[in-house]
């Protein structure tokens, strides 16, 4: 039996009916809002917590958290740090999706908004 009994952890279909976490600027129905399975997102937050990082562990709950530009820039660094340590294609994909979303905003010199993370 061994490690094979955990193979479903790497199957995206295992998360189809999971609650989701929204990442958006204004409203959950923003055209470019990002929706992530919570259990996969938690993998990132829990690893970040184990390394005593600051921002990423705060995002693992079910409430709403808003991050400003400086916090988003720090979060990009934390996500990169965590993703480099994982051997988990699904969690790495989630990290890449969040990083891409944040990078679009933080690379704009005039962006002065917030990014909201909201779990179910």
Q: How far, in Å, CA of 31 to CA of 113, rounded?
A: 16
In a domain, 93, yes or no: yes
In a domain, 44, yes or no: yes
pLDDT in tens, 30-42: 999 999 999 999 9
pLDDT in tens, 22-67: 999 999 999 999 999 999 999 999 999 999 999 999 997 778 999 9
In a domain, 108, yes or no: yes
Whether 46 and 64 have beta carbons less than 8 Å apart is answered as no
Q: Is the pLDDT of residue 1 over 70?
A: no
In a domain, 58, yes or no: yes
pLDDT in tens, 87-116: 999 999 999 999 999 999 999 999 999 999
What total number of domains does the chain contain? 1
In a domain, 83, yes or no: yes
In a domain, 10, yes or no: no
User: Which secondary-structure segment (H or E) carries 43?
Assistant: helix 38-50
Structural domain of residue 85, as residue ranges? 36-119
In a domain, 94, yes or no: yes
Question: Which residue from 55, 57, 92 is spatially nearest to 74, judged by alpha carbons?
Answer: 55
**Average pLDDT across the chain, whole number:** 94
Residue 117, beta-bridge partner list: 23, 65
């Amino acid at each position: 039996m061994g490690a094979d009994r955990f193979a479903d952890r790497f199957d995206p279909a295992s998360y189809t009916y999971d609650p989701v976490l929204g990442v958006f600027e204004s409203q959950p129905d923003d055209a470019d809002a990002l929706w992530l399975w919570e259990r996969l997102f938690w993998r990132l937050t829990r690893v970040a917590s184990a390394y005593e990082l600051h921002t990423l562990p705060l995002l693992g709950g079910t409430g709403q958290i808003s991050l400003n530009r400086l916090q988003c820039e720090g979060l990009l660094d934390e996500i990169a740090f965590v993703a480099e340590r994982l051997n988990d294609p699904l969690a790495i994909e989630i990290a890449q999706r969040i990083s891409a979303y944040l990078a679009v905003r933080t690379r704009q010199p005039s962006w002065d908004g917030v990014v909201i993370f909201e779990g179910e």
